[in-house]
Amino acid sequence: MLTITPITAFQDNYIWALHDQRHAVLVDPGDAAPCIDFLEKHGLNLLAILITHHHGDHVGGMPDLAARYSPRIYGPAQENIPGLTHSVSDGDTISISELDLVFNVIGTPGHTLGHVSYYDGDRLFCGDTLFACGCGRLFEGTPDMMLSSLNNLSRLPDHTEIFCAHEYTLSNIRFAKTVDGRNPMLLERELNDKARRSTGVPTLPSTIAQEKATNPFLRCHEPALIQAAQILLKHPPRDAVEVFGALRRAKDVF
């Protein structure tokens, strides 16, 4: 049976380990040491690494893991990431037969220009594109680019579990309340996620359904978020892209 375990790294990163009793796949291993500890403790053979984008806290552990385990390493073709064995782009398919996994690669530019996400029909590993109740900063892309990526992800089935790469949820909820504070599902989410964090439990995975109900960056068409953007912009937003841009800039300085 497949198990998914978060390996904590740095201040708030999650390196996701997909594993059974024998084999493992890692997603965005920014630090090799906790990954090696986990693999050795559980006697797992590292089959593959999935990389979403080039930032150091997502790729930093790759060289040591590659030298120790010789895994297949998948990552975005549009980014310069030394050590990839398989470059992938939007629409590609990855098969990891040992764990009976098939991933569809979804191009999700915005945080970086070549960012990709991995979707297996039930689970989405989306790096720094879609966060629980938030989204990634626009280090390289444009608001239009990121909103398009988020809209594409929001069309996945509601039951899809979201495994992003950081524990940012409570901070994201605090911001969301400033622009969508009358949303009862957001307030309920805050209570539930605060309870989880108080016992050291991750707030992840969330689901597409939960994000569509509470994540302001997936709700740019909703009247409350349009009104919030109008206040920020000091004029009515022209479209959803302008709503998104206003919200993202506000989150940047929150």
CATH superfamily, domain at 3-213: Ribonuclease Z/Hydroxyacylglutathione hydrolase-like (3.60.15.10)
The residue-averaged pLDDT of 84-101 equals 97
**249: CB partners within 8 A, 6+ apart:** 232
pLDDT at residue 209, as a whole number: 98
In this prediction, residue 60 has a pLDDT band, given cuts at 50, 70 and 90, of: very high
- Report how far residue 242's alpha carbon sits from residue 93's, in angstroms, rounded to the nearest whole number: 33
Contact 169/204 with Cβ under 8 angstroms?
A: yes
Residue range 99-107: mean pLDDT, rounded: 98
Separation between Cα atoms, residue 179 and residue 229, nearest integer Å: 8
pLDDT of 20-46, one tens digit each?
Answer: 989 999 999 999 999 999 999 999 999
Q: Which residues pair with 119 in a beta bridge?
A: 104, 124
DSSP state of 98: G
pLDDT of residue 29: 98
Q: Which long-range contacts (CB under 8 A, 24 or more apart) does 245-250 make?
A: 245/143, 247/179, 247/216, 247/217, 247/220, 248/135, 248/137, 248/138, 248/143, 248/146, 248/217, 250/175, 250/178, 250/179
pTM of full prediction above 0.85: yes
More confident residue, 55 or 21: 55
pLDDT score, position 236: 97
Query: Which residues carry out catalysis?
Result: 53, 55, 57-58, 111, 128, 166
The per-residue pLDDT for 80 is 96
**Could you read off the pLDDT of 160-204 as tens digits, one per residue?**
999 999 999 999 999 999 999 999 999 999 999 999 999 999 999
- What tokens appear for 195 in the block? 């309870």
| pLDDT reported for residue 164 | 98
pLDDT at position 52: 98
Can you give the pLDDT at residue 224?
97
Residue 13: pLDDT band with limits 50, 70, 90: very high
Residue 100's region, left for phi above 0, alpha for psi from -120 to 50, else beta, is: left
Report d(CA 213, CA 215) in Å as an integer: 6
Cα dihedral across residues 83, 10, 110, 202: positive or negative: positive
Query: Which of 45, 44, 62 lies closest to 53, judged by CA?
Result: 62
